[in-house]
Amino acid sequence: MKISLKQLQNRGSKRQQYATINKSMLNKLNPPDLYRFYCLSLFRNDYYYVRLRIKDIAKLTGEKEGALQDFNDNMDKVLTRKKYPSPINHPIRDFTMRSLYCIPPIEHPDFITLSYLFIKLDLSVKAKGYYIKLLLIAKDSIILLNPKELAEKLKMGKSAIENYNIELYSAGLLKYLSKGLELTPSELLLDNDIAAQRKERGNPLPKITLKSQ
């Protein structure tokens, strides 16, 4: 799956090599929103701030913009979001309000580090988010839970889990065990030692002089 990132990078948001996800986020977001959070986190700056529009995020995930209509409300469950005015070329208005996302700090040692290569996999958004959930609960890549127990752990439907497992198995990302699953993320799951914490922040919002109406 090819994703054009040129426009995003020109807007001052540079893709990082990895994103971190805290294990405490396991059931705060559903699978698609957890994957969207991961994509958003890939574009954090050194202070863990992200400036992306909804349409930019939709391009990253390969979805239609309408699928993210509740994105900001859902992200408010796991991060701090501020609004700031951004100048636009409009006959009536001089600016519009944009969202500034502040990615939560790393919760040592309970987090995972996922490579940007994950966005290149040809999988559904739901399956990718579900796989992140599996990575959050796995121990040494092993999950010793049957489908029913896994559904209870992840607060998901058993049939949905079985469908996602098939999709991930076909992609070579998991193996079935007699009493559970073995995850095979290969180069996608990185050593947490490479993860850097945010720098000390000043005022992240741009200074913009607005015209009087």
Annotated domain spans of the chain: 6-194
The mean per-residue pLDDT over the stretch 23-37 comes to 98
The mean per-residue pLDDT over the stretch 100-124 comes to 97
* Band of pLDDT at residue 199, cut at 50, 70 and 90: confident
Q: What's the pLDDT score for residue 97?
A: 76
How many other CB atoms sit within 10 Å of the CB of residue 187? 8
The mean per-residue pLDDT over the stretch 118-138 comes to 98
Q: Evaluate if residue 208 carries a pLDDT over 60.
A: no
Q: What's the pLDDT score for residue 194?
A: 96
Least confident of 55-64, 84-93, 103-112: 84-93
The mean per-residue pLDDT over the stretch 129-140 comes to 98
DSSP conformational letter for 109? T
Containing 134, the helix (H) or strand (E) segment is helix 125-137
Q: Evaluate if residue 135 carries a pLDDT over 50.
A: yes
Q: What's the pLDDT score for residue 200?
A: 77
Q: What's the pLDDT score for residue 21?
A: 98
State the chain's mean pLDDT as an integer.
88
Q: What's the pLDDT score for residue 5?
A: 39
The mean per-residue pLDDT over the stretch 128-136 comes to 98
Higher pLDDT, 18 or 13: 18
Q: What's the pLDDT score for residue 4?
A: 38
12 phi-psi bin (left φ>0, alpha ψ -120 to 50, beta other): left
Please give the share of the chain, as a percent, with pLDDT higher than 90. Answer: 77
* Per-residue burial over 85-103, b = 16 or more CB atoms within 10 Å of its CB, e = otherwise: beeeeeeeeeeeebbbbbb
* Band of pLDDT at residue 89, cut at 50, 70 and 90: low
Q: What's the pLDDT score for residue 205?
A: 60
How many other CB atoms sit within 10 Å of the CB of residue 21? 25
Please give the share of the chain, as a percent, with pLDDT higher than 70. Answer: 83
Which residues have C-beta within 8 Å of that of residue 205, sequence separation ≥ 6? 82, 84, 100
- Taking a C-beta distance cutoff of 8 angstroms, is the pair 15, 63 a contact? no
Q: Evaluate if residue 65 carries a pLDDT over 50.
A: yes
Please state the pTM of the whole predicted model. 0.86
Question: How far, in Å, CA of 177 to CA of 145, rounded?
Answer: 10
141 phi-psi bin (left φ>0, alpha ψ -120 to 50, beta other): left
- Taking a C-beta distance cutoff of 8 angstroms, is the pair 168, 176 a contact? no
